[in-house]
């Protein structure tokens, strides 16, 4: 008798288009250094305005659209990462 493998055993896990285990995106937050119009600036705060992200820079009265800023992207993971509590360490009060 021959045993045949099910299709799942040979095919890779089906992943929706655009999804992966890691992704990168810029993170704008207070104190981050960004390049704007060829000069280094510091982010003061970030606000959602009319469903659009607006970045306010120190010493600038008007907000700046994120597409006008240069910032190194941050790497994120979509997988669950273990925390210290799940690594077998115990703590007491």
Enumerate residues 6+ apart whose C-beta is below 8 A from 84: none
pTM: 0.61
Structural domain spans, the chain: 19-87
pLDDT score for 60: 93
Q: Quick one: how far is CA 15 from the chain centroid?
A: 19
CB 78 within 8 A of CB 19: yes
- Cα 69-71-75 angle, rounded to 5 deg: 140
**How many CB atoms are located within 10 Å of the residue 37 CB?**
9
Query: What does 4-73 look like in DSSP terms, one character per residue?
Result: PPPHHHHSPPP--TT--SEEEE----TT-EEEETTEEEEEEEEEEETTEEEEEETT-SS-B-GGGEE-PP
pLDDT score for 3: 56
Ranges of residues in the chain with a pLDDT under 50 are: 8, 93
pLDDT score for 93: 47
């Amino acid at each position: 008798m021959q045993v045949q493998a099910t299709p799942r055993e040979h095919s890779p896990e089906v992943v929706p288009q655009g999804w992966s285990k890691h992704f990168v995106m810029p993170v704008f937050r207070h104190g981050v250094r960004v390049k704007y119009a060829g000069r280094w600036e510091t982010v003061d705060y970030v606000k959602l305005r009319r469903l659009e992200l607006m970045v306010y820079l120190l010493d600038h009265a008007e907000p700046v659209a994120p597409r006008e800023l240069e910032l190194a992207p941050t790497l994120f993971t979509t997988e669950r990462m273990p925390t210290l509590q799940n690594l077998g360490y115990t703590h007491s009060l």
